[in-house]
Amino acid sequence: MKILFVMRNLLYLRNYGSTLRLLAEQGHEIVLTYESERNLLPPEVAEAAETLVREQPRIRLARAVARSGFWAPLAAQVRVLMDFLRYCDPRLETARRCAARAESFVFPPLRPLARLSEARRRRVLPRIQRLAASIEEALPDAAAIRAQIEQERPDCLLVTPLLDFGPTQVEYVKLARRLGIPSALLVASWDNLTNKGLIQICPDRVVVWNHHQAAEAAELHGVPPERIVVTGAQLFDQWFDREPSRDRGTFCRQVGLDPARPFLLYTCSSIFISRYEAQFLERWLTRLRDDPPPALAGIGVLVRPHPGSSKFAAQVAELLERFPEQTALFPREGGYPVTPAAQDDYYDSLHHSAGLIGINTSAMLEAAILGRRCFTILDPEVAESQGGMLHFAHLLRGGFLKTADSFEQHFAQIAEAVEHPGQSEAERAFVADFLRPNGLERPAAPQLARAIEALGALRPAPAAPAPGTALRRLLYAPLALYFLSVEDLRLRKRWAETSLLKLRITQAAMLLARAEKYLLRRPLRSAGNHLRRAGKRSGKWLERRVLRRLRALPARVTGRTAAKQASADSPHEERVGK
């Protein structure tokens, strides 16, 4: 079986590297396409990708392609608008930061749609959704993407994360449906279905970790339940049976902590989740050092920066200089645990700690696997990073994450865990329910591999264009021209902030310029090209005709001369005979 796997970038090898190895070892060919430039990858991720391809010859890397040209701005804007309007759903009303992020991708004059009254919203939004669906259906195929799919001729298509605010992976799923190729979304992380965009074109399968994500896919994205497959969280398989690479004393001395004292592991969240975490960490450390419970007096603190936030790591390093006693940063530059050495460092940090503290991070899931308790404080300063992120509720299931409303309660909880280490039955049940719902002893990667093989056996019928598609395309062409005219106002994916008056003037000027380009200059240039080509063809025809006549001229002159001579000789002979 040949698999075309479209990733936003190769960072997702952390999530799917083990599954890809299994598929390659079973004889399947995998074309791994990525959207972002490889030279922008962290060095450890680039190293992991090169190692995977070198060790598995059946895996090949290729660049993903994207839609370009006249229809591209309209296609992108319709999709990000639908991503944005999903946050009008009352179930997502607390996700204000996610809504603000989605809003930054939307063309500014369209943003007030989300601020309509409830009554007007109920009337207007269904119409917009129908219009968006009609435009989506009318869009012509992305030629470059279609050419890539037809060249590779895969048996199935995989995409991840699909839910980002960008149109490329939607195009792949849409064309797979058009060509009769089965497709699947692999939900990469625990927050993807709540904190990102909308599944706008449903693939044949949506593969999730657990039954909670299955409910999110069905309720928030409208995925039919029969298309949802639960396999477990394959990216965490490696932590279940791993052993530490060094003893606790060696590890503590290496990172700069006292081996005689326990230490807490503070794991930082991503910049999007908690942009100002350094300020909260400073408050947390100050309170811990100034008035700790007896069990926490002199306890070590190992801070692990978020792997995708190297700039934040530098801020934390500067902060920790003010807390030199029993405080360390490791690894100092951050980094993703995708190489064997980095995985050892991460596992040893978790294994040797007395507990994990954070705001809202997936490191808590990994700590749960190792039997380490997790703690946080519901502080107003980080409220948007917790209650404002819908996936945070998963951590509260069954009392897995210990929460506190004050620093005093928070430190008392940690002190009790330090004095009485161990994992409760409720915490173990969380791991079974959220990470391995099909059985604690059953790794998720083989289940995901079987789900992909089953996908390749599907034979969906190619989806024909709806009746009237060509007419709708003609009707939406002026709208496409308009968005093409204002495309220059975007800064990469987001729109520049500007006043409404300036925006209107700029829109009008750009629209006139694009209209002149597409309605006047291009047709005239095209007509001129046709005339020149016609002139060249006429000139060549005339040239060939003249040459033929010139070449034939000597023979014709000779023939005429002979005829005249014959006619002149014939009467003379008659006269002589008489």
DSSP 335: -
CA dist., res. 272 & res. 256, Å (int): 30
In a domain, 78, yes or no: no
pTM of the shown model: 0.83
Return the amino acid letter for 21. R
In a domain, 89, yes or no: no
In a domain, 339, yes or no: yes
What are the CA-CA distances from residue 426 to residues 267, 377, 409, 432 (Å)?
Answer: 22, 20, 20, 10
Same domain, 216 and 280: no
In a domain, 336, yes or no: yes
Write down the pLDDT at residue 304. 93
What are the CA-CA distances from residue 260 to residues 252, 300, 530 (Å)?
Answer: 9, 10, 85
In a domain, 488, yes or no: no
* Range(s) of the domain holding residue 355: 241-434
pLDDT digits (tens, 9 = 90+) for 256-281: 999 999 999 999 998 888 888 888 99
Write down the pLDDT at residue 522. 60
Q: Are strands 228-230 and 327-329 parallel, antiparallel or unpaired?
A: unpaired
In a domain, 560, yes or no: no
**Total domain count, the chain:** 2
What stretches of 96-213 adopt beta strand conformation (E)? 156-160, 183-186, 205-208
**Residues of the chain whose pLDDT is less than 70?**
38-39, 166, 310-311, 490-494, 496-547, 549-551, 553-578
Same domain, 347 and 430: yes
Write down the pLDDT at residue 21. 96
Same domain, 421 and 336: yes
Residues 26, 452 contacting (CB under 8 angstroms)? no
In a domain, 548, yes or no: no
pLDDT digits (tens, 9 = 90+) for 351-402: 999 999 999 999 999 999 999 999 999 989 899 899 889 999 999 988 899 9
Same domain, 211 and 340: no
Same domain, 272 and 412: yes
Write down the pLDDT at residue 565. 57
Write down the pLDDT at residue 441. 94
In a domain, 315, yes or no: yes
| CATH number of residue 43's parent domain | 3.40.50.2000
Residues 28, 58 contacting (CB under 8 angstroms)? yes
Write down the pLDDT at residue 575. 40
Same domain, 170 and 294: no
DSSP 244: -
Same domain, 193 and 275: no
Same domain, 228 and 284: no
Same domain, 197 and 303: no
CA 462 to chain centroid: 26
Same domain, 216 and 285: no
Residues 30, 37 contacting (CB under 8 angstroms)? no
